[in-house]
Amino acid sequence: MQFFGGSEISPSPPVPTASGNNAYVLYIFNRNGVCLLYREWNRPLKTLNSQQDHKLMFGLLFSLKSLTAKMDPTCVDKGNLGVPQLPGQGCSFHSFRTNTYKLSFMESPSGIKIILVTHPRTGDLRESLKYIYNLYVEYVVKNPLYSPGAPIRCDLFDTTVDQYVRGLG
Amino acid sequence: MAPVAPRSGDAIFASVERVNSELFTLTYGAIVRQLLTDLEDVDEVNKQLDQMGYNIGVRLVDEFLAKSNVSRCVDFKETAEVIAKVGFKMFLGVTASVTNWDAEGTTCSLILEDNPLVDFVELPDTCQGLYYCNILSGVIRGALEMVSMKTEVTWLRDMLRGDDAFELQVKLLKQVHEEYPYKDDE
């Protein structure tokens, strides 16, 4: 959602860091709100402690999904705002952009939510988020030492995601 | 970029890495034999197989969703079709058929003509109560629970007990909607 016209009007966003890395932050949540992974590459301003930050992010997306589904003009169902939904049901919002960042979101039907915050000029990241989901399946889900629902502590996954995200954009 | 269309079971089966089916059958057989030796009671073994299947299903569902690109199924009928045609094909190499829908559309049967788990297997007289493929019922239950459906999966027909096919009954108990997990005052 871009309010008040294009980003040319607002002050231009900060230039990406010298490494050419486009991405700022990555979150992965599961269906119960547990933050499985949090990685940051470029986040100069931190206003909240990490617990509150995760809750805020999860809550934001939860509400946004609900809102976008209820405001869908093509949808037949006239449910009230606030009625709980199944993960993946309804129209799925996939990104929003402000003058300083773009947030891309993907949710699987099993409730795994992947959020990537990048430079606002970034294009459509849906395929990239799918690829990160595939990485999650290969390195985390198939890892017998990982217990589902716990935060991810897997070095191989961290390095692969890091490499992939740095190569984006 | 438009979202990618869902892939058919055959297409995914052709693209994943496969393992020798005899190795798979023999490994599964070794697991069941070891459980019988350790636990000795056939009902306990059935329960353990179901629990193991549940743990597998909980992880398997993400791999299934990632590789097959299916979007959320609209209703339980579609879910059962997807499990039978894409899921079984992708992981076991065989397709199942869906029949025996009840009036409300919450119970159906998955029929497997061919089952790689039971190649060369015969049940001896001491194990007559054993559901040899009970891991499959756990897998389906675990996988569906991760997509918000609580189900009950039972065996109606079992070829190792003399029937002509494998028939699994899948009954949808309820759909669990997602709730906001944090309490408001925290």
The ipTM estimated for the assembled molecules is 0.86
CA distance A110 to chain B (A): 5
Buried b (16+ CB within 10 A) or exposed e, B169-182: bbebeeeeebeeee
Residue B66: pLDDT over 80: yes
Nearest to B182 among A31, A55, A108 (CB): A55
Nearest to A109 among B147, B177, B179 (CB): B147
Residue of B nearest to A135 (CA): B66
pLDDT at B134: 93
Residue of A nearest to B64 (CA): A137
Residue B38: pLDDT over 50: yes
Q: Which residues contact B103 (CB under 8 A, 6 or more apart)?
A: none
Q: How many CB atoms lie within 10 A of CB A35?
A: 19
Cβ-based contacts of A108 with chain B (< 8 Å): 62, 65-66
Cβ-based contacts of A109 with chain B (< 8 Å): 65, 70-73, 147
Crossing angle, helix A155-166 and helix A126-136, to 10 degrees?
Answer: 160
pLDDT at B15: 84
What's the whole-number mean pLDDT along residues B124-130? 88
pLDDT tens-place values along chain A, 169 residues long: 444 443 343 344 444 443 446 778 899 999 888 999 999 888 877 778 888 889 999 999 888 888 887 777 776 665 566 566 665 566 678 899 999 899 999 988 888 999 999 988 888 899 999 999 999 999 999 999 998 889 999 999 999 999 998 888 6
* Window A:59-118, CB contacts with B under 8 Å: 59, 62, 84-89, 108-112
CA distance A99 to chain B (A): 22
Return the ∠ at Cα B117 (arms to B22 and B31), rounded to 5°: 85
Inter-chain contact B1–A124, Cβ cutoff 8 Å?
Answer: yes
Cβ-based contacts of B70 with chain A (< 8 Å): 109
Of the given ranges (A11-25, A67-81, B37-51, B102-116), which has the lowest mean pLDDT?
A11-25
Cβ-based contacts of A84 with chain B (< 8 Å): 177-179
Rounded to two decimals, what is the model's pTM?
0.85
Nearest to A85 among B73, B177, B186 (CB): B177
Strand order of the sheet with strand A102-107? A35-40, A23-29, A113-118, A102-107, A95-97
pLDDT at A11: 41
CA distance B47 to chain A (A): 21
Residue B153: pLDDT over 80: yes
pLDDT at A169: 61
